[in-house]
Chain A
Amino acid sequence: MSTTMDAISDHGSSHHIDDVDRSGPPLVEMEDISISFGGIHAVDGASIDLYSGEVVALLGHNGAGKSTLIKILSGAYKRDSGEIRVRGEAASISNPRDAKTYGIETIYQTLALADNVDAAANLFLGREIMTSLGTLDDAAMEAEARKVMGRLNPNFRRFKEPVKALSGGQRQSVAIARAILFDAKILIMDEPTAALGPQETAQVADLIKELKKEQIGIFLISHDIHDVFDLSDRVVVMKNGQVVGSAKTTDVTKDEVLGMIILGKCPPGAQPGPGAMKD
């Protein structure tokens, strides 16, 4: 917990494109994952992987299956078939608790906050600090919350209010704080900047760079390539539940990635997947 936090407060290092060590087994691999809802193949044989200290952008239109794929990793959905491996070993993830034991933390697009309780209660939801008597230690949780929020969002003061009273940016920082508070190894961010202003978006970008330096692997999910292109080491594009292709960000242009998203057309710099347009 503390090491992650120290890294975040230590700003100012430069971000090198593709300094990722891909020699060992990936931090996480999802192989041939399928899930369908009522006959619709939301995800159809998709495979993606992620290395330590790597940022992988998962792109695609609304309904392309990217959020569904990632919810399988975070334990919100149960896959119909396919395998998940963490550091080369098969992982059994059938609910959000399982995912958290593998160090997989998720910041959902909806933020998934309990609106009626305060920031500290949300940060520690499901992992409360208890006193020696077995009761909730609200003071200790508020103290930790003040610490982490002080670094993410120094102007945040509204610790006593239910989070529904907070602004979009403040709510976002609560959701982010919750994900990084517990020593995350794999971080999933679903549309992390969709609800944010320019300044807050820049803050999130800084945070991603710092977490990457901590050797945390990050999946960035977005429907808008401009949000994530400069932050990511690799892009993976999905369309109609299938992977169109993947590429190192240095090997492709934004226009080529747009072509992948819109047409499913794989450029020469990318590795085609099962969903790539056949010539």
Chain B
Amino acid sequence: MSEAVSQTPSKPKTASSTGGFKHFLKATEIDTRMLGMIGALFVIWIGFHILSGGTFLTARNLWNLSVQTASVGVMATGMVLVIVTRNIDLSVGSILGVTGMIMAIAQTTWLTPMLGFDSQLVWILTLAVGLAAGLTIGALQGFVIAYMGVPAFIVTLGGLLIWRGAAWWVASGRTIPITDNNFKIIGGGSDGSIGSTWSWLIALVAIAFLALAAVNARRQRHRFHFPVKPIWAEVLTFGLGALAVVVATLVVNSYYLPGPLARRYAEASGIEVPEAGLAISFGYAVPVLLFIGVGIVMTFIARRTRFGRYVFAIGGNPEAAELAGINTKRVTMMVFALMGMLAAVGAAISTARLTSATNAQGTLDELYTIAAAVIGGTSLAGGAGTIAGAMLGALVMQSLQSGMVLLGMDTPLQNIVVGAVLVVAVWLDTIYRRRAA
């Protein structure tokens, strides 16, 4: 862990001392922070792999890691916007808890009895109810923050207690199991994965998308006669992206269904079971695809929409944004509403994965979410942060946690490490920014 964090500050120094490397970074437009984080991630992975005696970097563990990252990762994309506007949301774990509970109760007491067992409408309506609840809770908190002028820290600290209490209250402290099999797909598992063929198809689409984006960006810059990236840099960044997609797909496709599950699958789809046994790939898990989908949508919102532009402008200089005629209060409220909705998406993933809603669900998730965003380069001073960085940050946090579980570390010790990582990450961020300024 300590090796992991020491990676970040050394990066800018290398860049300034070697002119060639600096030029390389400038040409490829690769973010040094991002590079540092990817480096840190690899150090963590390799470190745990060695310490755990070779069990970390296996298809099975990496696949699980990807599924475990999804819930907090989804919330981290929203936390970026919250922190960029110089706010904080301490209530996301509790919102996850209460919306998970609302979805489970809505499904078991109304939707399934009303619409019939495993009706397609059940999972759609369950999700809709959850998203609406999250949106409402977020908007309510946002309203108090933006229009009533109560600091976000206090409102969401109150929310932390209120929504956790509400989850307890609506379920009278019970654990509510969910029954709809279609809904469970959102959580991953053997039925919630798409298999190797679809995984390769998605990989192809992703690569085509990368190529298209690069070509389109180039064409846009040509249209106005702006300077463009050198072609080698273009090819290199595209190549690295495509390589990452291929490697990820290879990994998830080389995790096979365990024997009994594979037999059941074979029976269900009428495949002859050979003597040597079946090798049926998991492929990408549905929650992971959902996570990536949310990441793409959130990146689009942050970079390509007016709302996203205003979020960053408010973070950079709230007074200037106000003077430029931006309705800063409405934007702030919308950011919290969006955060609430993403917490509900996280709730859908974790409820479906656990196949039940519990009182403790999402406890301490606010810490993981904030840590993911901050490790991913979101500045607590506001105005700076990327969705992709937060997604990677979530992966870093989850890698730490599942690595520690793999090593058999006790929960209290895990919490101590996570807490320390958060503080160190923010400290490094202040150093980085002081140097950059």
Contact = CB atoms under 8 A, between A and B. Distances in A.
B320 A113 contact: yes
A205 to B, nearest CB: 25
Contact of B224 (A108, A127, A140, A162): A140
B325 A96 contact: yes
Contacts of A146: 224
Nearest to B225: A143
Interface string A98-132: 00100000101011111111000100011110100
A116 B312 contact: yes
Given A135-B304, A139-B224, A139-B226, A114 B312 contact: yes
Nearest to A115: B316
Given A117-B309, A136-B309, A108 B317 contact: no
Given A115-B383, A126-B326, A142 B226 contact: yes
B306 A121 contact: no
A22 interface: no
B85 to A, nearest CB: 12
Contacts of A134: 305
Judged by DSSP, the binding face of A is loop
A95 interface: yes
Listed residue (B306, B314, B323) with the most chain A CB atoms within 10 angstroms of its CB: B323
Contacts of A162: 316
Contacts of B321: 114, 125-126
Contacts, number: 83
A116 B383 contact: yes
A76 interface: yes
Interface in A174-193: none
Size band of the interface chain A makes with B: 20 to 34
B309 A128 contact: yes
A150 to B, nearest CB: 13
A74 interface: yes
B133 interface: no
B312 A117 contact: yes
Contacts of A110: 319-320
Nearest to A71: B323
Interface string B295-337: 0000010011110010011111101111111100000000000
A15 interface: no
Interface in A138-192: 139-140, 142-143, 146, 162, 164
19 contacts: A97-B325, A110-B319, A110-B320, A111-B320, A112-B317, A114-B313, A114-B314, A115-B316, A115-B317, A116-B316, A126-B321, A135-B305, A136-B303, A136-B304, A136-B305, A139-B220, A139-B223, A140-B224, A143-B224
